[in-house]
Amino acid sequence: MDELTEKKRLEALREELHHHNHQYYVVDTPEISDFEFDQKMRELISLEAKYPEWFDPNSPSVRVGGGLSQGFVSMAHRYRMYSLDNSYELADLTDWEERNLKLAGQDSFSYVCELKYDGASINLIYEDGKLIHAITRGDGAEGDEVTANIRTIKSIPLKLKGNHPKYMEIRGEIIIPHHEFDRMNQERIARGEEMYMNPRNTASGSLKLLDTKQVAERPLECLVYGMAAAESDLLDQESFLIAAQTWGFKVPDTFAFCNNLSQVMDYVAHWGEKRQELPYETDGVVIKVSRKSQQEMLGYTAKSPRWAIAYKFPSQQVSTVLEGVVYQVGRTGAITPVGQLTPVLLAGTMVKRASLHNADQIELLDLRIGDRVFVEKGGEIIPKVIGVDLASRMPEAQPISFAHNCPDCGTALVRVAGDAKHYCPNTWACGVQIMGRIEHFISRKAMDVQGLGAETVALLYHAGLVRTPADLYQLRPEQVLPLERMADKSVAQLMLGLEESKKQPFHKVLFALGIRYVGETVARKLASAFGSISALSSATHEALVSVDEIGDRIAESVISFFQDPRQMEWVQRLSDYGLCMEELQLEQAELTELLSGKTIVISGVFTQFSRDEAKELIRINGGKAGSSISKKTSFVLAGTDMGPSKKTLADSLGVPLIDEHEFLRMIQKV
């Protein structure tokens, strides 16, 4: 067989095996026997070994894995992966709909309901129909690039079929079906190994294995639920789910189109009863406004899409004995009581400790040591005590007396009026608080200091070498080497990690400072709005609350932080050591004051920009994007499909409507 003939044979085998993979793992209608499939795969692998110059990263042969990764690198999502707002009461769905109808000025919505798969979220990036990257959710803005591992999952198409966008990001959930999970555990028992605790954690852990061959041996599947693309002719969520099936993705047939909220309630009730019959883990239902144009009208909060919500099925509950209470100190000084329990299996994990929240909750439940208590996982994640079996209470059981002093430094605890928590006020001398602030500072989502973890922070603290995050940057190798478990290589990695962390952008530095209530998203907004630590530290309360999503509580916390001379001292030192304390000049150069003092409400759909892009144009030109029309609204940026009730409200208040062309002229873009 000549080279040209063998190349054609190789390409034909790839196409044929792609087809049979799809038939077997997605459609569940195999057309050939396993033996025939294996024979064709062996032939393909043989030809690829003979002609390495014809390598294709999306060949069906990559499904078998092989080769070790050196680790995973972070990669930004072009389109942010938002989390969903959760609802635990059916009444919440009615409230959610009413808010959205008012916000969008609509009379009704149609919905698509999908089961909420309990696995590991993944973002699959396709260009020209070929898989080029796979990224974990991470913090929503960036995640780990795990493409090599994802290519081993046979229900994920490496090459798409049919008519699809040129570039798109497909969102899905990596799961392990019940029967496969049970099979894996039976095999581990037979080998004398410890069982896996639950499918979700096993699926998530599989994506981080360094050996792709091991990943290929795991029975992972991908269930698809969403798409982000700049250009798409799909008008609603139902159309996407149907199209995704034609492209080659696995979409469970349990989704349903609902004309109204009453049908949504029926769907929720049906699967609340039937979910145990499903072949995979699910912990709720996701309800989405179906039409894309209406999704754009509703937009996003800082963390979640307004057009989607997750209804969580009632949590599983178990009973066990409360053996004792310990008190944890957070980096802000907040004291959290934690119940020590007789170990009990709950939702797939062995639970030994559970949150008791605060003193008020302990008093409300009338908790006593030795009580048999009911425990559930809040949001299926955090164990918490929710009740007491009073019928089994022993007569000698005594009420719990909440701690009066900090368990670390012994300082008397304080409680501010209106706050449910107790606090240790010894901010600058309480060791747990100091170490907590430094651990937050070096964490991956903040400064991401490689070579430095919680144990090393504790060593440095107890050796008297660090008291603030700024102290890290004055460490010298000869100071660290004498410490326990520190050697030349680990010290060199620590020093390199600290130096590399100076490259982190301003918004990460701002998050790393640990200002109360300033999370990742808020830090991004503040960094973008003020541009530098200097401008932010001198910002007024009025200026802070004018930033989208920033309220009184956050504003007061920011002002309080920068009014503390001890905070400012170590922040100034961080600046002196070379950390980034301002946004890139390129971004700042784009800022104008053309819309200064104006509050603009966005409504409808636009042809020259998206709603998010419109918000950004308002921001960089000095304006504020408002969420609802009022007398304070300067004008409404009105697109097509603007709700009639919004238009009526604007007219009644005398608020002008500006179309996108006039808006662009205002900011001198045309």
Residues written for the chain:
670
With beta carbons less than 8 A apart as the criterion, state whether 111 and 163 touch: no
Distance CA 490, CA 483 (A): 11
**Rounded to the nearest 5°, which phi and psi values hold at 658?**
-120, 130
Q: CB neighbours of 36 closer than 8 A, spacing ≥ 6? A: none
**Rounded to the nearest 5°, which phi and psi values hold at 591?**
-70, 140
Burial of 616 (0-12, 13-18, 19+ CB in 10 A): middle
Distance CA 303, CA 309 (A): 12
Which residue, 300, 253, 265, is CA-closest to 100? 300
Distance CA 520, CA 523 (A): 5
Q: Which 3-state string (H, E, C) describes 471-539?
A: HHHHCCHHHHCCCCCCCHHHHHHHHHHHHHHCCCCHHHHHHHCCCCCCCHHHHHHHHHHHCEHHHHHCC
DSSP 414-447: B--TT-SSEE---TTT-HHHHHHHHHHHHSTTTT
Distance CA 628, CA 610 (A): 18
- Kindly state the tokens that stand for 559: 């002002």
Q: Given 40, 116, 288, 615, which residue is catalytic?
A: 116
Determine whether 598 is an active site residue: no
CB atoms within 10 A of CB 429: 12
Distance CA 599, CA 588 (A): 21
Distance CA 384, CA 381 (A): 9
- For the annotated catalytic residues, the residue numbers are 116
